[in-house]
Amino acid sequence: MSSTTSNRSSQAIVIGAGFSGIAAATELASKGVDVVVLERHNHPGGRARVFQEAGFTFDMGPSWYWMPDVFEAYFEKFGSHVNEELDLVRLDPSYKVWFTGESLDVPAAFESMQVAFESMEKGAGQRLADFMAEAKIKYDIGMSEFVWKPAHNVLEFADWKTVKQATHLSLFTSFSKHARRYFTDPRLLQIIEFPVLFLGAKPEKTPALYSLMNYADTMLGTWYPMGGMHEIVRALVRVAERNGVQFHYEQDVASIDANHGKVSGVTLRDGTKWKAETIIAAADYHHVEQHLLPAAFRRYDATYWDNRVMSPSSLLFYVGVDIRVPQLKHHNLFFDTPFGPHASTIYDEPAWPEDPLFYISAPSKTDSGVAPEGHENLFFLIPLAPGLSEEEGQREFYFNHLCDRLESHIGLDIRPHIVFKRSYAHAEFQEDYRAFKGNAYGLANTLKQTAFWKPKMKSKLPGLFFTGQLTTPGPGVPPSLISGEVAGREAKSWLEVGK
């Protein structure tokens, strides 16, 4: 829907219809606030877009459904139930890990996972139980308390209950050191450390707090919504609209406007003006603050942003083949080369890697509807340093490298069977999402970029708030939903008392 008048108004405006934006709008609308979402594209979802080609349905972004309790609580809060909105399947195995010369199907049942760990390292089965018991404490504290704080300042964390809980969170121990207290086998360490790769930093630089991700992965399970990850977006929009949210697409915000020292609305690139009493920016934080805000209200400068440690970008390939690939599972992690050299090209000296780790999702293993009969839907991902420049032919070089590696494991060259292929990397992340340095996952979750050390949710411009993966609590689909809810709560408070 496009605007047809030059001046419009709403009590609240949300910029961007990604996960956090939809959640923020729904939070406000559920409390009686008149709210509209202005989305630059002609569809909702942000990075969780979808496209169809040659009979295939490709999710373009997130592919892991973790932390099901967050989704359950979200839908219940806003008057629905996750099972009414999504057809969820728990994956078993949760994923497959490919090492040099061997592979492991990681089972969904914890007891079976203990057996697999014990077979690879004596005593590791019981130590896995100990590791998960400790991770559960972090998950319960982190997900019930810490992630729901807007993190405006350190005083939010200064009450006795929070300080006492923080002693259980291992904030000042690295994840790498923590994992090695339990396991020594390199293969087990790769399995344990893999979830934190999504957090955008080396295990040596990631706080041990994030073993809570292992609890989410192993104990709460890896799930898949039939129809694809974009089904989550459709469900969120349905719930939002039932709560009164209005979505306006193809609305490209050019500036955030201020009047008498507080936010007053936005101006679109076509000249249309929207007035509002409060605004939540769910677009890229850097883009909004550095390009849409008047300079006087920018909290951060270019030097600040250049010094941020960003999570990786990615080189993605969406591939359809006219055969089935029986050796693959739904999720496949290729740890058949050392991560150290690859990690250095991401975090230490940014460069294109020589021999990268990679990931393949094959959702057609679970969902026959995402590929024609007898075909396979494949999604390839290589984590890369953000901000890399690209040379002609580089994408094809890496695709052939991945295909060669895959062939060495399964004995099949998929290239003659490709009926569709599309690539996506830094340039597209910047163009489609205005993502700072073409990042895919936001800020890295290092200690100095955790909680109140992240870019602030509250803008220097009164009445403007930020949400999404560059602010509290951090990257990932469930954290983005939580971020939206918290930002919506803060904006509602502003409407009641702040302004």
**Residue pLDDT, tens place only, 64-103:** 999 999 999 999 999 999 999 999 999 999 999 999 999 9
Q: Which residue has the tokens 């609590």?
A: 473
User: What pLDDT is attached to residue 152?
Assistant: 67
Distance CA 194, CA 204 (A): 13
Distance CA 155, CA 171 (A): 17
Residue 153 predicted with pLDDT over 80: no
Q: Please give the average per-residue pLDDT across 450-468, as a whole number.
A: 91
Span 288-304, pLDDT tens digits: 999 999 999 999 999 99
Residue 169 binned pLDDT confidence (cut-offs 50, 70, 90): low
Distance CA 448, CA 32 (A): 37
User: What pLDDT is attached to residue 235?
Assistant: 98
Residue 194 predicted with pLDDT over 90: no
- Pick the more confident residue, 134 or 206: 134
Distance CA 233, CA 399 (A): 29
Q: Identify the weakest region by mean pLDDT among 146-155, 164-173, 245-254.
A: 164-173
Residue 154 predicted with pLDDT over 90: no
Six token digits for residue 234: 């459709």
Q: Please give the average per-residue pLDDT across 320-349, as a whole number.
A: 95
* Kind and range of the H or E run holding 358: strand 358-361
User: What pLDDT is attached to residue 89?
Assistant: 98
Span 307-322, pLDDT tens digits: 998 889 999 999 999 9
Distance CA 318, CA 447 (A): 34
Contact assessment for residue 345 and residue 353, using Cβ atoms and an 8 Å cutoff: yes
Span 416-439, pLDDT tens digits: 999 999 999 999 999 999 999 999
Residue 498 binned pLDDT confidence (cut-offs 50, 70, 90): low
Residue 134 predicted with pLDDT over 80: yes
User: What pLDDT is attached to residue 155?
Assistant: 46
Residue 347 predicted with pLDDT over 90: no
Residue 359 predicted with pLDDT over 60: yes
Residue 270 predicted with pLDDT over 90: yes
Average pLDDT in the chain: 93
Residue 5 predicted with pLDDT over 80: no
Residue 494 binned pLDDT confidence (cut-offs 50, 70, 90): very high
Distance CA 106, CA 88 (A): 19
- Pick the more confident residue, 142 or 483: 483
Distance CA 457, CA 451 (A): 10
Residue 11 binned pLDDT confidence (cut-offs 50, 70, 90): very high
CA distances from 338 to 166, 186, 355 (A): 34, 10, 8
Six token digits for residue 195: 């979830």
Residue 2 binned pLDDT confidence (cut-offs 50, 70, 90): very low
User: What pLDDT is attached to residue 219?
Assistant: 97
Residue 268 predicted with pLDDT over 80: yes
Residue 482 predicted with pLDDT over 80: yes
- Pick the more confident residue, 198 or 291: 291
Entry field: residues in the chain: 499
Residue 444 binned pLDDT confidence (cut-offs 50, 70, 90): confident
Distance CA 181, CA 184 (A): 8
